[in-house]
Amino acid sequence: MQTPNLVPIPELYVSYDSAQKLKAEAGDLVSHDLTQRQICDLELLMNGGFNPLKGFLSEEDYNSVVDNMRLADGTLWPMPITLDVSEEFAEKIEIGQDIALRDQEGVILATMTVTDRWTPDKAREAAKVYGADDSAHPAVNYLHNTAGPVYLGGPVTGIQQPIHYDFRGRRDTPNELRALFRKLGWRRVVAFQTRNPLHRAHQELTFRAAKEAQANLLIHPVVGMTKPGDIDHFTRVRCYEAVLDQYPAATTTMSLLNLAMRMAGPREAVWHGLIRKNHGCTHFIVGRDHAGPGKNSKGEDFYGPYDAQDLFRKHQDEIGIEMVDFKQMVFVQDRAQYEPADEVEDGATVLNISGTELRRRLSEGLEIPDWFSFPAVVEELRKSKPPRSNQGFTVFFTGFSGSGKSTIANALMVKLMEMGGRPVTLLDGDIVRKNLSSELGFSKEHRDLNIRRIGYVASEITKNGGIAICAPIAPYATTRRAVREEIEQFGAFIEVHVATSIEECERRDRKGLYKLAREGKIKEFTGISDPYDVPKNPELRLETENVEVDNCAHQVLLKLESMGLIAA
């Protein structure tokens, strides 16, 4: 495919002078504080990465994209780019009104004229766009549990790019990349999309792709949002930089893409193709299970391994970029080289290390062979992912008041401090309510806020390599799940259900609160007049009746040991 890409692509920014004026005027507009994902989307809307979109989708475009992968005018566009907001915010907005879009520090990045406001059918969006309304899919989970319930749509006027302080020299807008390709005389460019560190298999795949397409190579990693649990982009970019010298400098370059991925497999591949086309590329690599979200709640793959290639192929002409498709690359031992799995001779010994296996080796400090990766990459990965026994983690006790949470948590803290090695912090229900949540009561809203605060502090401790022990009642499963997700970005989350029955807690009634609750003197008392969602799959369930505290704490230690979190 010959490049039509040597001209600039339309952006949504106004000129510098107009931007200054608009920014001053926008100070008086109703403001929406953008989420991290919306900031990523807005950046690519404004700089032309999402061309031909001119703003967040209108209701008509949204319905058409969800149903047919096309905008209402028939243009191919596979992903709903929507501005989700709360009901309270949506109610404040009149159709036709301009609003200011601000980043998380309050800087005004753009204005939007709201032309549409609607409440989407999220189950339908999930089923049509992601293939199933199953919260095991990260984007479906985001849709139901993070995104606001109302969507606003309308054209965007760009004032300034989101500010990035990291790797500034490696970030390029579509037009900057186009200009670079023009300057270098690169008429054919094959893009490689990635959200993982580059190992030898990727290097071989990209070499082959460039050769096959007779094109220059753009390594185009995503640094916006990827799959929860992925290696953070700081580490990844350091890894990419460590292997760049393995590539011929005259025909390879790297640029970072601030995209928020949805892990939507086939639809995502088409979307990625359109984005790369906008960035001036002529070819795009689609490998096995492109942008795959992993397994669904039944343990099966969401998409077939080559569904993305099939859908891309079907729409290739319309996307305007040529696919370079690859089977999975495997290491053929006898030939000491990587080859696509379908080209390997029968009977040859092939070696492969899956992503899961790599994570296991890193977390257990095991060897990562030279045939698999580059020493410099492994060194970077080991620095940011020390073995599990050196990583931070959170033990989260939950159970009724008086179930024994605090006592067991205290015993566990002492035992962990005796072992040494990592700082230990106890976030007990009562301590937190005194120091962090003194203004809160026991309504659902206040309890959720209380647990989220605990979760936030625990996630910071976990991120920084410490041990957080939390011991609130935490009666709601959805809130516990949200805390788990926040913490699991940084380390392990061990939910311990202290399963003392309500009858036993009431019999013990250590603080005399059950008596008061029965008399109606304390309202909304968990287990008496307020709900408690029993954890379905905690890492550990502790029965405390006739079991000593020391033994309960020891059971937690054994669990931590079996998970590799404390050295055996």
Q: Which residues bind to ligand PPS, rule: CB under 6 A?
A: 401-402, 406, 429-430, 433, 442, 447, 450-451, 472-475, 511, 513, 522, 524-526, 530
HEC string of 301-366 equals: ECCCCCHHHHHHHHHHHHHCCEEEECCCEEEECCCCEEEEHHHCCCCCCEECCCHHHHHHHHHCCC
Strand order in the sheet with 350-351: 337-340, 329-332, 350-351
Contact 190, 214 (CB under 8 A): no
Tokens of 244: 């760049």
Identify which of residues 167 and 476 has a Cβ nearer to ligand PPS in the complex: 476
What's the number of CA atoms in the CB half-sphere (13 Å) around residue 398?
A: 31
The residue behind tokens 């957080």 is 468
Alpha-carbon span 320 to 4, nearest angstrom: 9
Alpha-carbon span 490 to 231, nearest angstrom: 10
Contact 321, 209 (CB under 8 A): no
Kindly state the smallest distance separating residue 449's Cβ from ligand PPS, in Å: 8
Say which residues have a Cβ less than 8 Å from residue 92's Cβ, sequence separation at least 6: 30
Identify which of residues 364 and 445 has a Cβ nearer to ligand PPS in the complex: 445
Q: Which amino acid is at 240?
A: Y
Kindly state the smallest distance separating residue 549's Cβ from ligand PPS, in Å: 14
What Rg, from alpha-carbon coordinates, does the chain have? 26
Identify which of residues 335 and 523 has a Cβ nearer to ligand PPS in the complex: 523
Work out whether strand 150-158 and strand 83-85 pair parallel, antiparallel, or are unpaired.
antiparallel
Strand partners, 285: 324
The residue behind tokens 């799940």 is 481
The residue behind tokens 């990459």 is 377
Kindly state the smallest distance separating residue 473's Cβ from ligand PPS, in Å: 4
Identify which of residues 193 and 401 has a Cβ nearer to ligand PPS in the complex: 401
Kindly state the smallest distance separating residue 417's Cβ from ligand PPS, in Å: 21
Residue closest to ligand PPS (Cβ): 429
**Residues labelled catalytic:** 194-196
β strands within 477-553, DSSP E: 492-498, 540-542
Alpha-carbon span 450 to 428, nearest angstrom: 12
Alpha-carbon span 455 to 436, nearest angstrom: 12
Kindly state the smallest distance separating residue 520's Cβ from ligand PPS, in Å: 12
H/E run at residue 65: helix 59-68
For residue 229, how many other CB atoms are within 10 A of its CB?
11
Of 98, 99, 64, give the one whose Cα is nearest residue 80: 64
Identify which of residues 180 and 440 has a Cβ nearer to ligand PPS in the complex: 440
Kindly state the smallest distance separating residue 416's Cβ from ligand PPS, in Å: 20
Contact 308, 265 (CB under 8 A): yes
Kindly state the smallest distance separating residue 550's Cβ from ligand PPS, in Å: 19
Identify which of residues 203 and 450 has a Cβ nearer to ligand PPS in the complex: 450
Say which residues have a Cβ less than 8 Å from residue 356's Cβ, sequence separation at least 6: none
Alpha-carbon span 190 to 197, nearest angstrom: 19
Exposed, middle or buried: residue 420 (CB in 10 Å: 0-12, 13-18, 19+)?
Answer: exposed
Identify which of residues 157 and 406 has a Cβ nearer to ligand PPS in the complex: 406
Distances (CA, A) of 341 to 105, 205, 426: 48, 12, 51
Kindly state the smallest distance separating residue 468's Cβ from ligand PPS, in Å: 15
Kindly state the smallest distance separating residue 334's Cβ from ligand PPS, in Å: 60
Alpha-carbon span 502 to 531, nearest angstrom: 12
Identify which of residues 254 and 451 has a Cβ nearer to ligand PPS in the complex: 451
The residue behind tokens 């010994």 is 349
Alpha-carbon span 500 to 508, nearest angstrom: 11
Identify which of residues 167 and 442 has a Cβ nearer to ligand PPS in the complex: 442
Identify which of residues 142 and 396 has a Cβ nearer to ligand PPS in the complex: 396
Kindly state the smallest distance separating residue 193's Cβ from ligand PPS, in Å: 42
